[in-house]
Amino acid sequence: MDSHCIEHNSSPGEEPVTIKIRVVTGCFHREHSPAAYFFIDQAITNIPAKERQFDFVEHESGPEIVAWIALGTAGFTLAKSVIDLVTAIINARAKGRERGDRPDGKLVLIVRDSHRTDASTEKFVMEIYDKELVSSKQVATAIEKGLQKRKSK
């Protein structure tokens, strides 16, 4: 299960955004973190198919999710399933360490434009230390702040 891709025809008022969970040093991929990816695969499988409105891409530096945000008068809306998946990925790293995965070190959560241009933004919105568990509320708050900074650019 190297990546999960969906076809998404964006609607008016939707915009793609990339959410990256990156290691500061070392790697975070399936080969070196098999226990973590067991939990990640499980989290993806548990999301009902109709709610899988994202692409999941594996990189050596850590997983990346391409999702679509709804732009509204009150701000941005990101699907709960995406927030929960980001939370599951971060927590899978810590759980994987408990089960024998060797890679360790700090993770950073990054929100960025999915289309690279000179005007693109990349915001580091959260640092997660080795073996630290996070809540969906913490992740949602961090991503929302990153999206607000992105919008105000």
Other beta carbons within 10 angstroms of residue 122's beta carbon come to 13
Residue 148 pLDDT class (50, 70, 90 cuts) = confident
> The whole model's pTM is what?
0.87
**pLDDT value at residue 136:** 97
Give per-residue pLDDT as tens, 25-38.
Answer: 889 999 999 999 99
Place of tokens 């008068």: 73
Rounded Cα gap, residues 85 and 1, in angstroms: 15
Q: Burial, 101: exposed, middle or buried (Cβ in 10 Å; 0-12, 13-18, 19+)?
A: buried
- What token pair was written down for 60? 């050596």
Residue 1 pLDDT class (50, 70, 90 cuts) = very low
To the nearest 10 degrees (0 to 180), the angle between helices 80-98 and 34-45 is 150
Rounded Cα gap, residues 134 and 91, in angstroms: 7
Note down the domain range covering 65: 3-152
Rounded Cα gap, residues 118 and 100, in angstroms: 42
How many distinct structural domains can be found in the chain? Answer: 1
**pLDDT value at residue 4:** 47
